[in-house]
Amino acid sequence: MLEADFVIVGSGSAGSAMAYRLSEDGKYSVIVIEYGGTDFGPFIQMPSALSIPMNMSRYDWGFSSEPEPHLNGRVLATPRGKVMGGSSSINGMVYVRGHSHDFDHWAEEGANGWSYADVLPYFKRMETSHGGEDGWRGTNGPLNIQRGPRKNPLYSAFVEAGHQAGFELTDDYNGSKQEGFGAMEQTIFGGRRWSAANAYLRPALKRKNVKLINGFARKIVIESQRAVGVEIEARKKIQVVKARREVIIAASSINSPKLLMLSGIGPAAHLRQHGIEVVADRPGVGQNLQDHMELYIQQESTQPITLYSVLNPFSKAIIGAEWLFFKTGLGATNHFEAAAFVRSKAGVDYPDIQYHFLPGAISYDGKSAAKSHGFQAHVGPMRSKSRGAITLRSSDPWATPEIRFNYMSHPDDWEDFRHCIRLTREIFGQAAFDPYRGKEISPGSHVQTDEQLDEFIREHAESAYHPCGTCRMGRADDPRSVVDPECRVIGVEGLRVADSSIFPRVTNGNLNGPSIMTGEKAADHILGRTPLAPSNQEPWINPRWQVSDR
């Protein structure tokens, strides 16, 4: 009999954290439904191989956007993990909590109890920080977070260049002070990807009260406005996994709204159009889709010290062998070891631009590398005003949803991106890069006017793979809200959503950290526990924010 107290759909960042916490005291049984297979093997576990699983249909759902009208009709890849650990098993392993103001904004938007003071204790509970700021970081949580070795001199050149340009430095952007240039943090431990599967799901599965079921979730079974189970397809058979207490959807910002709509929860007219009986008319389901976009600004290196020298098959084999036997060397890092969070202009009170720095010139998916030694910064605005939507293509559960990000649909986004390009050139132009700087590879020094920059953005802006917001959390009386501040789906009993889809607005930086925190905090709500006591720590805000960008 497939039955448990709690049934979780999805074994990703939030789902794994909830499986671990809900089963911790042994009182309740938990079933986790995951369609993907095992995360075992070097492509996922070896950090430097990060671009490989993202491009494998075995590990990735293979979603892509509809043609994006403001980006010359380009179709953009939208990878989501289809494997144990979900997207935490195919992501770039960059760890960012988000800025304190992000969460304060959530609370202002109706997500009561999710201000920074409320969520900071959960970030601490989930972390074991290696090298973070004392008093601000967790020291005995399941999630190990480290800094890379930063052996390549280009990492320190990037941080020093930021300083020379007048920007702040930060010892820990996940501590009291996000703003500034400094070391980037990674979810890597003992040379391996420290995914939600390794941190949370594996330890949970050792308990007698947790079970992982391999199956495709077709819809939530709802009887008289109460969720009682999940209809799954496994080995060509349709069956129901029953939930004695609650069903929790943690299937990603793409699949969670899709599953709600297939179950009759969503915009009524849209559901009827597909012949789906309306259980709860929630116009917000699938709306409010957000993401971060980024550009790669690439510069030639005059010194042969970049990753270009190891992109040949022989070097890759040596790196792979060292990693396989010792879990050390260039295979044991994601190569994102320096970062920055800065503000775009005076009057912006907290960072709205993020940098990832890489001592090589290559695309995120690993498909195209520059033909020479080079280095690059991934740069993009953090708070785009553009909004998109996830809608059903049909009522067939196997049909992929229609994903419309509507990237760059707001005029401010263009101004923000132009500024990002010009600012990166200013940073690469500092004295710290004098010993290394060759010619600009991308966009290329000939691209200067607003029109030329816009054309470059249209052709080259990429997703940073941070989709969220499609099951927005807010006040129960707000028609835009899908879940209330305890993650309960409004209008249906015994059903919650807890993953990045509930974010009212995208947070600063990468979303793996906030997604795990969401699972941690949701678990306390589900168990009816008093949330952890709010923190009284005061984060740093630049005293010059009203008059300067640095």
In the predicted structure, residue 364 carries a pLDDT above the cut 80: no
Q: Break the chain into its structural domains and give their ranges.
A: 1-144+187-291+388-394+466-537, 149-183+293-381+409-460
Is 10 annotated as ligand-binding?
A: yes
**Percentage of the chain with pLDDT > 70?**
100
Mapped onto helix, strand or coil, the DSSP state of residue 514 is helix
Taking the C-alpha atoms of residue 14 and residue 30, their distance in angstroms, rounded to an integer, is 14
The pLDDT value given to residue 369: 85
The pLDDT value given to residue 479: 97
The pLDDT value given to residue 101: 98
Q: What is the pLDDT of residues 220-254, one digit of tens each?
A: 999 999 999 999 999 999 999 999 999 999 999 99
Q: Out of 335, 446, 466, 525, which one is annotated catalytic?
A: 466
Homologous superfamily of the 1-144+187-291+388-394+466-537 domain (CATH): FAD/NAD(P)-binding domain (3.50.50.60)
Mean pLDDT, range 152-180, rounded to an integer: 98
Is 503 annotated as ligand-binding?
A: no
Q: Where are the beta strands (DSSP E) in 77-178?
A: 77-78, 127-129, 143-147
Distances (CA, A) of 447 to 151, 297, 426, 442, 444: 33, 12, 15, 9, 6
Element (H, E) at 158: helix 153-164
Its pTM surpasses 0.95: yes
Provide the H-helix boundaries in 429-511: 450-460
Is 46 annotated as ligand-binding?
A: no
Is 252 annotated as ligand-binding?
A: no
User: Which burial class, exposed, middle or buried, applies to 493 when counting CB atoms under 10 A from its CB (0-12, 13-18, 19+)?
Assistant: middle
Angle among Cα 267, 511, 247 to the nearest 5 degrees reads 50
Residue 101 a catalytic site member: no
Q: What is the pLDDT of residues 19-72, one digit of tens each?
A: 999 999 999 999 999 999 999 999 999 999 999 999 999 999 999 999 999 999
In the predicted structure, residue 366 carries a pLDDT above the cut 90: no
Is 461 annotated as ligand-binding?
A: no
Does domain 149-183+293-381+409-460 correspond to CATH entry 3.30.420.40?
A: no
Euclidean distance between the first and the last CA atom of the chain, given in angstroms as a whole number: 61
Q: What is the pLDDT of residues 501-529, one digit of tens each?
A: 999 999 999 999 999 999 999 999 999 99
